[in-house]
Structure 1
Amino acid sequence: MTRLAALVVSGLLLILSAVLEPNLADAQPGVRIARVSYFSPGSLGAPGHTGLRNALRDLGYVEGRNIVYEDRFADGAFGRFPELAAQLARSRVDVICAVGPAAIQAAKDATTTIPIVMAFSGDDPVRSEFVASLARPGGNITGLTILVADLTSKRLALLNEVVPGLTRVVALANPTNRSTADELRELAKAAQALRLETQVVEARERSQLDGAFAVIAKSRAGAVLVFADPVFVANRDRVVTLAAASRLPAVYAWREYADAGGLMAYAPNREELNERTASFVDRILKGAKPADLPIEQPTRWELIINMKTAKALGLTIPPSLLRLAQRIIE
């Protein structure tokens, strides 16, 4: 090889190295680089994605110095999970942070050795056979569980308190979400207790949202309960806009909806979820075994009320409810 050719090849290798591993530029010699994946049914920039990175940074994990991220997003296409999980298993990351039951199941099916942290599980992790028990998970999975079905009754009660003379509620649900069946059962029980009629309208992807709300607008319902679902969260601006166009009060599963103009959200506190997920990752990277780390549940919840939206809908929020709210958007 001529000297010129050698220089050209050397230069190309340097360029490829910079392209393939840009985040390792600041790595210190001798420092072990942790490889962590955020495995989500949502999209890049999902609320928990940035929050988890910030929480890990607070624990001393600086991207490019002692941690790199190999994230995977299904973009609402649940059928992509098996291949994405297989990619992570082949890459042998140190920890997979899986968001929601479908991602957890796919990660569990793909590996029995890589630690999996449930950023949250939307259903019972014992019944789903993710873990042996909450106290002693027993395998390669640990983390946080949020029983989303338990929150459905609380959200329905909020609508009943806010909307005068409410008799009928529509639930917007994604039938491909594993948590939906549990939410529907809880909705039926709660509606019976409150003597409310319910109707379920389905949407599996963004392209079906407009049609779903067209059905909702003709349903004679007095309010909408939007189930917890990554497709809906990723398209929250559209969901909120459609709810506003239908002139129907709606309650949502995450604070980001209220920030986008939704009437109300009742949800676990995002900061706590991120901090506790990061704590699981930190302990595992320092040698703890998932089998020995008990499953945890959120302890902080938040009610967010958007008063601008309430005014636009002609609703008067009861003072008792305002006193319970952790945040009021004026």
Structure 2
Amino acid sequence: MPRIAFLHGNKRDGDAGAVVGIKEGLRQAGFVDGQNVTFDYRWAENDFSRLPALAAELVALRPAVIVVGGGSAAAVAAKSATSTIPIVLAFGSDPVELGLATSLERPGGNITGVIFPGQYAAERVRLLTTMAPQVRTIGYLRTGPAHSNAVTEQQTANVDAAARALGRQLVPFKVDSRAEIDAAMTAIVDRKIGALDIAAHPFFDDDATIAGLAVRTLRAKLPAIFIQEAFPNAGGLMSYGESYAEGFRHAGQYVARILKSEKPAVMPFDQTTKVELIINRATARALGLAIPESLAARATQVIG
């Protein structure tokens, strides 16, 4: 029975949709966990320093394929652990810029997969200002030096440029721990910053962090946006970004193709194009905001 290894930088409860999506993609190709494939999981629990050791553990199990999610650090760790076992990525970075592939069209090595393009960071700022046009300053909660790389810095620059183009001031807050998140949220309230954009990063993706940010932004009467739909589901105002479940379903289909003897070196990277806008109506009311017709028409779902 082929063994599929799964490496993720997040907590197990932080990206459960990833596992569901992969298994759905596999099932559509005739592969069912426990029947004709089996899974081994390793989760870094947001401690990205553990990723190299976890990747080495999975390689030692000699899986047929390694699936990687949860950011560029996990992808780099998997690539460093093996140059022969096929690796399927599902993440938001450019694998060519990271040195993981020769090109998106013809990767040339043992890595292929699905990219979440990540071009929606600036659009989240525009959506936030459309929902709360009175806001002049926008806090930007992002990771600090321990969890950041060139992708983080580029995303920050894109968000800052979008804010300036809209006549708003972006105020970044760099955090690498739960204590620093707490301190940043306190500073955001004390400085009377008008709204909050939470960066797309695995560090923020676990359920407890998302729920905590949703509660704190609602309590502070702070319009906020995040990439994950779990945020408005937990009481945050809105989310906008690629569908993780859809992206990982495509990744599952890539795994199935490799199990059927296709080679990652000649499998072009796919780019997920399904984007979802989720708005929490009850939270908007609590914040004294009316959902503009333009956003209501674009929304994938309005809840509450």
TM-score (norm 1): 0.86
Equivalent residue in structure 1 for 2:78, among 74, 98, 107:
107
Aligned counterpart, 1:196: 168
1:310-325 equivalent positions in 2, closer than 5 A? 310-325=284-299
Q: Deviations over 1:159-212 (max 9, x none)?
A: 111113221100011121333212111112112211211111122133432222
Could you tell me how far 1:267 is from its partner in structure 2? 1.2
For structure 2, list consecutive stretches of 5 or more residues without a partner in the other structure.
none
SS of aligned partner of 1:158: helix
CA distance in 2, matches of 1:61, 1:48: 16
Is 1:97 equivalent to 2:71 in the alignment? Answer: no
CA distance in 1, matches of 2:112, 2:63: 16
Partner of 1:214: 186
Higher relative contact order (CA 8 A, sep 6+): 2
Equivalent residue runs for 1:105-254 within 5 Å = 105-120=76-91, 122-148=92-118, 150-175=119-144, 176-178=147-149, 179-234=151-206, 235-254=209-228
Match of 2:8 in 1: 40
Q: Secondary structure at the match of 1:231?
A: helix
The 2-side partners of 1:126 and 1:219 are apart by 40
Structure 1 residues 74 and 180: alpha-carbon distance in aligned structure 2, compared to 1, 3 A threshold? same
Rounded Cα–Cα distance in structure 2 between residues aligned with 1:34 and 1:262: 41
Greater shift in the superposed pair: 193-202 or 40-49:
40-49
- Using the TM superposition, give the Cα deviation of residue 61 of structure 1 relative to its aligned residue in structure 2, in angstroms: 2.1
Does structure 1 retain, via aligned residues, the 8 Å contact 2:21–2:252?
no
- Structure 2 partner of 1:5: none
Map 1:304-315 onto structure 2 (within 5 A): 304-315=278-289
Shift of residue 63, structure 1, vs aligned partner: 2.1
Query: In structure 2, the residue corresponding to 1:328 is in which secondary structure?
Result: strand
How many equivalent pairs are there?
296
**Separation in structure 2 between the aligned mates of residue 297 and residue 227 of structure 1, nearest angstrom:** 20
Q: What's the offset of the Cα at 1:238? A: 1.1
Greater alpha carbon shift after TM alignment, 214-223 vs 45-54: 45-54
Cα deviation 1:17-48 (Å, max 9, x = unaligned): xxxxxxxxxxxxxxxx1111221111113231
1:11 paired residue number: none
Select which of 58, 71, 76 maps to 2:46. Answer: 76
Q: How much does 1:93 deviate?
A: 1.2
Partner letter of residue 92 of structure 1?
R
Gapped regions of structure 1 (runs ≥ 5)? 1-32
Please provide the CA RMSD for this pair: 1.4
Q: CA deviation at 1:276?
A: 0.6
- What's the CA shift for 1:272? 2.0
Alpha-carbon offset, residue 60 of structure 1: 2.5
Report the alpha carbon displacement of residue 147 of structure 1 after superposing the two structures with TM: 3.2
* 1:108 shift after superposition: 0.6
Shift of 1:156: 0.2
1:132 to partner: Cα distance: 0.6
Q: Distance in 1 between matches of 2:216 and 2:63?
A: 40
Residue by residue over 1:48-84, the C-alpha shift from the partner in whole angstroms, topping out at 9 and shown as x without a partner, is: 1233223323432222221111111000011111111
- 1:59 corresponds in structure 2 to 29
Measure, in 2, the Cα distance between the counterparts of 1:52 and 1:207.
Answer: 33
| 1:292 matches 2:292 | no
Instruction: Give the Cα separation in 1 of the matches to 2:29 and 2:181.
Output: 39
Looking at structure 2, the residues matched to 219 and 79 of structure 1 have their Cα atoms a distance apart, in angstroms, of 34
Moved over 3 A (4+): none
In 1, Cα distance between equivalents of 2:19 and 2:237: 24
In the TM superposition, residue 91 of structure 1 has moved relative to its aligned partner by 1.6
Deviation, 1:125, is 1.5
